[in-house]
């Protein structure tokens, strides 16, 4: 079992609902201070988006942040340098696309990520069937590979995806790219399909943009991922103080939900 999964299973055993904020690495010069603020406010892990020019899963908010990061010269090497200076002990999880990993070198990038504290990776354009080379490289560096389950994923494929996932299973709440959502999310059905075939910690993401949505999601799941809404706060000029307040509101909502269960 990867170290990430051990940590997240231990967290679940305490009854605490996991809060995982998402940041686009390099979108601002002080982005690592934003990560530290989120952890101070109660984040249990942090998802680090490695910017890519053609992010197929990401909506306009994260796309724009990724382009800003690339314009500022952000690379895997610069991200590793930044993360090496970070003062936090929570798990870090990278999110990016296979093209970047492949061109950097699978073994090289897995080792580079692990050296700077990254213990998991979400690669949304990499299928289970095509993930063998990446998983071998990730295994050698104790980097967990996390796959996604969508509302459209049939039960037999959910079983395949969850058996391949490490750390946690990423349950997409809706059929869409990342972004804030006002429509009803399909959380219960997606999480139930995961629960039917796996006891892997299951976190809900894509469309979780308010504390109320997060609270509803953890009534059936083990945690939530908050991405575009947080990236928007930063885009609108929010600094460490605003991020701490924003993440704190989600922490309070999740703690209230945990107290009801």
pLDDT confidence of residue 183: 46
The domain that holds 61 is classified in CATH as: 3.20.20.70
The answer to the question of residue 259 being in a domain is no
pLDDT confidence of residue 186: 72
Number of domains in the chain: 1
Structural domain span for residue 59: 16-251
The answer to the question of residue 34 being in a domain is yes
pLDDT confidence of residue 235: 92
pLDDT confidence of residue 258: 67
Question: Is residue 156 annotated as a catalytic residue, yes or no?
Answer: no
The answer to the question of residue 235 being in a domain is yes
The answer to the question of residue 194 being in a domain is yes
pLDDT confidence of residue 60: 83
Helix ranges (DSSP H) in the chain = 3-13, 31-40, 60-71, 76-83, 98-104, 106-115, 132-140, 155-164, 187-195, 211-217, 228-235, 240-260
pLDDT in tens, the chain (261 residues): 999 999 999 999 999 999 999 999 999 999 999 999 999 999 999 999 999 887 675 668 898 999 999 999 999 999 999 999 987 889 999 999 999 999 999 999 999 999 999 999 999 999 999 999 999 999 999 999 999 999 889 999 999 999 999 999 999 875 444 444 444 457 898 999 999 999 999 999 988 999 999 999 999 999 999 989 999 999 999 999 999 999 999 999 999 986 554
Residues in contact with 34: Cβ distance below 8 Å, sequence separation at least 6, in sequence order: 23, 28, 234, 239, 240, 243
Question: Is residue 139 annotated as a catalytic residue, yes or no?
Answer: no
**pTM for the model:** 0.92
Residue 223 to residue 250: CA distance in whole angstroms? 11
pLDDT confidence of residue 182: 44
The answer to the question of residue 256 being in a domain is no
List the catalytic residue out of 36, 44, 47, 244: 47
The answer to the question of residue 10 being in a domain is no
If phi over 0 gives left and psi between -120 and 50 gives alpha, with beta otherwise, what is residue 142? left
List the catalytic residue out of 58, 82, 222, 244: 58
Report yes or no: 83 and 115 within 8 Å, Cβ to Cβ: no
CB atoms within 10 A of CB 219: 14
pLDDT confidence of residue 207: 83
pLDDT confidence of residue 156: 93
The answer to the question of residue 180 being in a domain is yes
The answer to the question of residue 7 being in a domain is no
């Amino acid at each position: 079992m990867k170290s990430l999964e051990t940590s997240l299973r231990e967290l679940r055993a305490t009854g605490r609902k996991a809060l995982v904020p998402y940041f686009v690495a390099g979108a601002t010069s002080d982005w690592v201070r934003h990560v530290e603020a989120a952890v101070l406010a109660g984040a249990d892990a942090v998802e680090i988006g490695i910017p890519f020019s053609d992010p197929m899963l990401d909506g306009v908010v994260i796309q724009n942040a990724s382009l800003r990061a690339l314009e500022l010269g952000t690379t895997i090497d610069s991200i590793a340098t930044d993360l090496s200076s970070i003062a936090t002990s929570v798990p870090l999880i990278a999110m990016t696309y296979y093209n970047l990993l492949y061109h950097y070198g699978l073994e090289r990038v897995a080792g580079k990520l692990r050296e700077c504290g990254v213990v998991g990776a979400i690669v949304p354009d990499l299928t289970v069937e095509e993930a063998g080379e990446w998983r071998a490289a990730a295994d050698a560096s104790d980097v967990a590979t996390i796959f996604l389950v969508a509302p459209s994923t049939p039960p037999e494929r959910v079983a395949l995806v969850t058996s391949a996932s490490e750390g946690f299973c990423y349950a997409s709440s809706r059929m869409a790219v990342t972004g804030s959502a006002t429509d009803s999310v399909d959380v219960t059905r997606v999480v139930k399909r995961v629960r039917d075939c796996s006891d892997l910690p299951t976190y809900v993401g894509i469309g979780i943009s308010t504390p109320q949505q997060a609270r509803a999601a953890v009534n059936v799941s083990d945690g939530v991922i908050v991405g575009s809404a947080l990236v928007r706060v930063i885009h609108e000029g929010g600094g460490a103080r605003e991020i701490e307040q924003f993440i704190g509101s989600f922490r309070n909502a999740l703690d209230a939900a945990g107290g009801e269960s």
